[in-house]
């Protein structure tokens, strides 16, 4: 540096050097998930993955509940009052202390909005010293698992406006928000006053890149350190790259075909069974998705208890599928498409391109359904078309991937997707036009009492899986794997199988 530079210039140059050095050490994460806003309902799952926010209850790598912002919890003898003891000396990113009252406010705001907590029989949430008491109108054993859901993240009182909408992400996690530019990027920095261990990675930036090939190019060029949701072509492209290593892990997500059981054809379980029998799951998994196997049932093996190993595996049998359709009165016409009277068995299958594999799988399904005489028109649209079509009754078939463990206890997803009433069965991403009174009652009992074996010694979780396998309100196709590329600049990188965290705080820069 020249001796003639003024102190101001020295400072400016020093800041520039510091900025360049910091940028070199900034972790770059790329994934397809858009940033929609600061409120937990909009992008809360991303804020959780970036470790800006925390919940009272957390989940370990095996899917078991563990302490989060609450160090312990217990329930009263009548199972109507849950007590959660908060960690002491926890600070929000605005410098304020986490108190029981602040946690009450966050949960009350979450309870007032659409989401799973709204369905829990909570009558009151109160602060009592360093504890939080949740009063119920009836027992609900699944409550701790519900409090691990990202929508129950605890934000500082200053994060909300008067209406309860979060305008800023002010959490308690090891990283704090530095900037956010929806829908494409946000940047975080390590929070110096975090209650736990300080992370080695001090800065990180998240970028939303919708196209899989774009994400792969960033990994290949070194512009991304963590690259999520790689499609088969991208994985092949990066296999021999000297810059990255490939990682893969099973997740609790299943590729599903949602069927409108109110449709004139699909109200018959045999016709839904014919659809399932037409699907070559092995070919879709191994050729299209490059996964080891297709889904033999709804829940993958990693979801213990709910995966029922005694169930006969879903499989392809085109001849049996044709026989079922003919027995249901659907005969093949001259055009090769089945008819029943004046009605043609022609349906619309909608999916979306946010996950690049979905249109590819939909194209394969179109051909496989045609082989049994069903004409399928593909509609590649926005994912919001699925809940919209569910509500107005227009949806016929939909292809998407469903995370079955957003609540670590899948009872939360099942109650949301498959319980209800005869007038309003299922949820946006679950059953449409299908309702089973006994099944709904069994789910409600498990939520109240837990998963204890029934009087005959059977696991009620496995029995619930059997009911869904028999009725097929949704048709499982493949169990998902999270595939990503990890820069060789990093070490100790691991994939969170439960998709709750990018694992920033556990990463280390390679020497």
pLDDT higher than threshold 80 for residue 258: yes
Q: Taking 90 as the threshold, does the pLDDT of residue 420 lie above it?
A: no
Please check the confidence at residue 12 and state whether its pLDDT lies above 60. Answer: no
Q: Alpha-carbon distance 498 to 295, whole Å?
A: 18
CB 359 within 8 A of CB 223: no
Angle among Cα 246, 306, 464 to the nearest 5 degrees reads 140
Range name among 149-158, 319-328, 497-506 with the lowest pLDDT average:
497-506
Does residue 249 carry a pLDDT above 60? yes
Q: Can you tell me the distance from the alpha carbon of 323 to that of 307, in angstroms, rounded to the nearest whole number?
A: 29
pLDDT at 262: 93
pLDDT band at 61 (very low <50, low <70, confident <90, very high): confident
DSSP structure class, residue 72:
E
What is the model's pLDDT at position 453? 59
Mean pLDDT of 14-19: 42
Give the ranges where 188-346 is alpha helix by DSSP (H).
Answer: 212-221, 232-238, 269-278, 281-283, 318-327
Res. 115: pLDDT tops 90? no
Mean pLDDT of the region 200-217? 94
Q: What is the mean pLDDT of the chain?
A: 91
* pLDDT on residue 22: 44
E-assigned strands of 269-388?
331-332, 338-340, 343-344, 346-352, 375-381
Q: What local confidence, expressed as pLDDT, does residue 406 receive?
A: 83
Closest CA to 39 of 131, 153, 116, 142: 153
Question: Which tens digits make up the pLDDT trace of 350-401?
Answer: 999 878 889 999 999 999 999 999 999 999 998 899 999 999 999 999 999 9
Task: List C-alpha distances in Å: 273 to 262, 468, 473, 510.
Answer: 15, 12, 10, 52
pTM for the model stands at 0.88
Which residue's entry shows tokens 């009087």?
Answer: 455
Strand pairing category for 27-31 and 203-208 = parallel
CA distance 431 to 341: 28
């Amino acid at each position: 540096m020249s001796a003639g530079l003024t102190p101001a210039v020295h400072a400016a140059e020093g800041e520039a050097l510091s900025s360049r050095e910091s940028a070199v050490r900034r972790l770059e994460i790329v994934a397809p998930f858009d940033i929609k806003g600061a409120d937990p309902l909009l992008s809360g799952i991303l804020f959780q993955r970036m470790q800006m926010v925390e919940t009272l209850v957390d989940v370990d790598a095996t899917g078991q509940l563990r302490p989060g912002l609450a160090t312990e919890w217990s329930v009263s003898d009548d199972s109507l009052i849950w007590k959660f003891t908060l960690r002491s000396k926890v600070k929000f990113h605005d410098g304020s202390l986490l108190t029981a009252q602040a946690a009450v406010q966050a949960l009350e705001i979450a309870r007032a909005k659409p989401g799973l907590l709204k369905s829990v029989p909570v009558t009151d949430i109160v602060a009592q010293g360093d504890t939080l008491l949740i009063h119920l109108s009836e027992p609900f054993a699944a409550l701790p698992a519900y409090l691990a859901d990202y929508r129950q993240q605890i934000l500082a009182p200053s994060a909300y406006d008067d209406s309860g909408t979060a305008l800023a992400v002010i959490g308690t996690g090891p990283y704090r928000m530095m900037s956010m530019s929806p829908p494409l990027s946000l940047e975080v920095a390590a929070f110096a006053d975090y209650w736990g261990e300080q992370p080695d990675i001090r800065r990180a930036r998240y970028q939303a890149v919708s196209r899989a090939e774009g994400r792969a190019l960033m990994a290949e060029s070194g512009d991304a350190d963590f690259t999520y949701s790689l499609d088969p072509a991208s994985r092949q492209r990066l296999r021999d790259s000297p810059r990255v290593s490939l990682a893969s892990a099973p997740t609790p997500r299943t590729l599903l075909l949602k069927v409108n059981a109110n449709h004139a054809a699909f109200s018959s379980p045999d016709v839904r069974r014919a659809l399932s029998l037409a699907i070559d799951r092995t070919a879709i998994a191994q050729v299209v998705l490059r996964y080891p196997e297709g889904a033999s049932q709804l829940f993958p093996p990693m979801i213990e208890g709910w995966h029922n190993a005694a169930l006969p595996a879903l499989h392809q049998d085109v001849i049996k599928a044709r026989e079922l359709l003919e027995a249901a009165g659907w005969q093949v016409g001259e055009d090769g498409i089945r008819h029943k009277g004046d009605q043609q068995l022609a349906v619309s299958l909608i999916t979306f391109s946010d996950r690049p594999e979905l249109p590819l799988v939909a194209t394969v399904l179109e051909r496989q359904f045609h082989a049994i005489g069903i004409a399928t028109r593909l509609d590649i649209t926005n994912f919001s078309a699925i809940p919209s079509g569910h509500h107005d009754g227009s949806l016929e078939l939909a292809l998407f991937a469903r995370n079955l463990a957003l609540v670590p206890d899948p009872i939360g997803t099942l109650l949301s997707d498959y319980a209800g009433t005869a007038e309003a069965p299922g949820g946006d991403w679950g059953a449409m036009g299908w309702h089973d009174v006994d099944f709904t009652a069994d789910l409600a009992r498990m939520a109240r009492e837990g998963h204890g074996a029934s009087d005959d010694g059977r696991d009620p979780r496995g029995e619930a899986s059997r009911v869904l396998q028999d009725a097929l309100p949704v048709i499982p196709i493949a169990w998902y794997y999270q595939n990503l590329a990890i820069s060789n600049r990093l070490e100790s990188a691991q994939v969170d199988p439960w998709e709750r965290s990018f694992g920033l705080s556990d990463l280390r820069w390679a020497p």
